[in-house]
Structures are given as C-alpha cells and as structure tokens.
Copies of this chain bind each other. A is one copy, B any other.
C-alpha cells in the first residue's frame, strides 16, 4: 500500500462513485474552479461513468440498441476536463480523521491511500438481495449498473442456446424496475412471471390504482403473482438458477431479475462513523453536506432526503435527484451556494402504453405521519372527448381533512397521463390547497386536454368532499 499524491497549494476533491451524483458534482466543481485551484479525483469501481441506470430496462428490452447510448459522459470526456477518473477502483475505507480514502484496484488487488481536502460520497444504492438460498447463483441479476445490465444480457444471450421451449424469466418485485424489466423481457420473447409481495404491483401507488397496472401487465401476457414472498432460488445441475420458490409454489426460471428495490450503499460511510438515518442513508444538511462534517458532501442514491409533504426523511433513489444533488454539491464545493430543499415523491413510469405517475403521499404514507385526509378518484380523458385519440385517465387525489391541503396524486392512463403529475408536484411544493388548485390556469386546447383538465376535475371533487356542497 502506498500513499498517492502530495498535497500542494491547490485543494484536492475526492469523489467516491462515478455515476450521476458524483460526476455531476465533479463537473460542476470543475466549472467553478479550474485545475490550478482544485484537483479532482473520482473513484468508480465499475467500468463506466455518468450512465443512466434508468435506461437499463430499455436497453435490455431492445428499445435502446447500444449500451453506450446510456452513457451521458464517458471517462475520457471527464478526463479531458481534468477530472482524474479511476475506473475499476473501489474505495474500501474512509479515514475521516486523517482526511483520506483507501482504494483498491479491482483487477490487481493493489491498495493505496489518497488524501482529500474535500470529499463527495456518491456510492449509490445496491439492489436488495434477500438472504436466502440460491440468491448468489448464476442467472440471478440485479439491474443497478451498466455492468449489471451487461451481465444480464450475457445471461440472456446464453439462454438463447436452449432446447426449443420458450425461455422463462421470473422478476422478483413489482416496483418500477420490476415492472419495466418484466416488459423488457416480454419484448425479448420470454415467458415472464412477476412474483410480488404486495397486494398489487407498483406498491408506490395505492392498491386500487395498482390494480390498473396489474390489468395492463396481464394484457401484455405477463403473469402476476401477488401476495407472494420468494423463499428461495433453486438451482439446477450446473449451479445455475432453475426456479424461484415461494411458500406455496415454484416458478421455473432460466433467468431471475431482482426488482425488489434498493438500499443505500453506505457500508463505507457507516464504518467511517458518518451519520445514517432510519432508512440507512447518509444524513445531510440542505447544502448536501454530511451532518457534522464540514468537508464531506453526499448525494444521490446513498442519502436520505426530506419529504416536503410528510416532513420526514425518505430514501428516494432516482437519477433526477442524484443529478440535482451533484449540481448542488459541485456548486458548494466550487465556492458557490446552492441547496436541495427536498422532494415531494414524484415518480413516473410506463408499461407498454400505460402511463403511471404518483407524487406526494399514498394513503398509508399519510396515515403513518398522522395526517387525516379525504380521497377522490375520477375518470377523465387526455384530450377533449371529441378530439381523435382522447384516451381515458384515472386520477386519485388525497387532500388533508379540513385544511384541504393537497397531499398526493396518482394517475394511471395512456398518452399524456404521466407528466400531468407535474402539476401536482409543483402544487405540493407550493403547499396549495385543492381549492386553490381548482383555479389553476392550465393549458387547454382540444388536442391536449378536456376543458377541465383531469387534475382540475379531481381538485374540484376533492374540494367538494372537504368542504361539502361549497
């Protein structure tokens, strides 16, 4: 083990993790401070930087044909801007007291220490791998990184060499990733079964709205198994996966994809004594500085964020937040000022032509934080009813009892449904009541909306439910 680099007059920024949060931070810091002032070293244990993990299902499904299309900025591009990206290099320890990190070359196993003046932790998240027999078998795949995606595609390519029957995939979990991966595998010609612990898929929605997703998935030919917990992964003679078992049944599988969700990758941070929250994520202040540590920032999937609606911390692993965190961190590291105030819990997804969106609190979220509420669910259309292509849309809205403050919106529909949730996301951020929302001046023209936008219809119904006959 050697000590790399000596500290000169210029500062050194060390970044752990080469994806959205880490490299956005590095890029923004570089924009504000040149290489004469700030040295930037970024450690990434995989082969890639700045890639879109959210794009992996579309790559696996074939909508995106080249892996490199998912790479926003390659290592060479970062290096051209004097960011010293070290791939296949895993940080194994943070020595907070001494201000240094220990990194290991993944291929050679060689380790060395690198000192830092400023540190950015952007270690991301790891897929939940339940501790059960067979989970580490060949053919069981997470889909967090491009390396994961490549490994899955390699397995799928090998499975092609089979005995003539249709190949079978089991997706464990029916959140966004699980549902997107199920569709990707159907597109590749697999028989797909999704085994889901919850009552309905997409547990980021209330079950009544998840039911609509369930129906759409079945329409695609996906087999949904709800209320079922995987207890083990069974392997065949070669040691490869051959089936997934629940308490009640076995589901044959040539490949298993884990879509159960992710946990913050904060082992390093925990060992280093950095503050973690109830969800296992790093705790930061508004400037994305790790609490109690003047020269350490953290962002992306390894941190917890403030939910502005509930007032509590959550773990929300999403590329869009990671990019914002990186931007904020880079600005602050670079001597500027920026903050990340929190999230309202917006998420959108697509299953075939079904668009799914949510923001704010579900019923159970609201109950958990002591909020009483009313709900309404309305049916409307994406365009004026008489305009060609108008398609149905279901909007569910939660509003706080008495005050009428908007608490959450869920939308399931076809074209034009998902991004309507942005209306509610901004209204939640602004703390609007559903009655205030009824007066919102939203874009109206027959190709885009009925004269009352579906979100306005829901707000009007919610207002009636809160305040009676007006």
Q: How far is the CB of A180 from the nearest CB of chain B, in Å? A: 8
Find out whether the CB atom of A427 lies under 8 angstroms from the CB atom of B425. no
Q: Residues of A within 8 Å of B, CB-based: how many?
A: 76
Within 8 A of B (CB), among A172-206: 176
Q: Which of B320, B432, B441, B449 contacts A444 (CB 8 A)?
A: B320
Binds B, one of A104-112, A225-233, A413-421: A413-421
Known pairs A319-B451, A338-B470; A443 contacts B426 (CB<8 A):
no
Find out whether the CB atom of B64 lies under 8 angstroms from the CB atom of A386. yes
State whether the Cβ of A323 lies closer than 8 Å to any Cβ in chain B: yes
Binds B, one of A133-141, A208-216, A340-348: A340-348
State whether the Cβ of A148 lies closer than 8 Å to any Cβ in chain B: no
State whether the Cβ of A35 lies closer than 8 Å to any Cβ in chain B: no
Residues on B with C-beta less than 8 A from A343 are 441
State the CA gap A176–B446 with chains docked (Å). 12
State whether the Cβ of A313 lies closer than 8 Å to any Cβ in chain B: no
Q: Which residue of B lies closest to A385 (CB)?
A: B69
State whether the Cβ of A159 lies closer than 8 Å to any Cβ in chain B: no
Q: Which residue of B lies closest to A357 (CB)?
A: B443
State whether the Cβ of A439 lies closer than 8 Å to any Cβ in chain B: yes
Residues on B with C-beta less than 8 A from A357 are 443
Q: How far is the CB of A428 from the nearest CB of chain B, in Å? A: 8
Known pairs A346-B441, A444-B320; A70 contacts B386 (CB<8 A):
yes
Per assembly, the copies of the chain total 2
Q: How far is the CB of A332 from the nearest CB of chain B, in Å? A: 9
Find out whether the CB atom of B425 lies under 8 angstroms from the CB atom of A441. yes
Within 8 A of B (CB), among A386-406: 386-388
Find out whether the CB atom of B32 lies under 8 angstroms from the CB atom of A446. no
State whether the Cβ of A128 lies closer than 8 Å to any Cβ in chain B: no
Residues on B with C-beta less than 8 A from A426 are 423, 426-427, 430, 432, 440, 442
Residues on B with C-beta less than 8 A from A338 are 470
Binds B, one of A52-60, A79-87, A93-101: A52-60
State whether the Cβ of A331 lies closer than 8 Å to any Cβ in chain B: yes
Q: How far is the CB of A342 from the nearest CB of chain B, in Å? A: 8
Residues on B with C-beta less than 8 A from A418 are 443, 445, 448
Q: How far is the CB of A319 from the nearest CB of chain B, in Å? A: 5
State the CA gap A357–B327 with chains docked (Å). 28
CB-CB nearest 9 A-B residue pairs: A430-B430, A348-B443, A336-B470, A320-B444, A69-B386, A426-B426, A346-B441, A350-B447, A344-B441
What are 25 A-B pairs at a CB distance below 8 A?
A32-B470, A58-B387, A58-B447, A64-B388, A176-B445, A319-B444, A320-B442, A320-B444, A320-B453, A321-B441, A323-B451, A337-B470, A341-B439, A347-B444, A348-B449, A349-B445, A355-B448, A419-B448, A423-B423, A423-B426, A425-B440, A426-B430, A426-B432, A429-B440, A429-B441
If A58-B446, A350-B448, A416-B419 are given as contacts, then 14 extra A-B residue pairs at C-beta distance below 8 Å, sorted by A number, are A54-B384, A54-B445, A63-B387, A64-B388, A323-B451, A337-B470, A342-B439, A343-B441, A345-B441, A418-B445, A418-B448, A419-B443, A425-B440, A426-B426
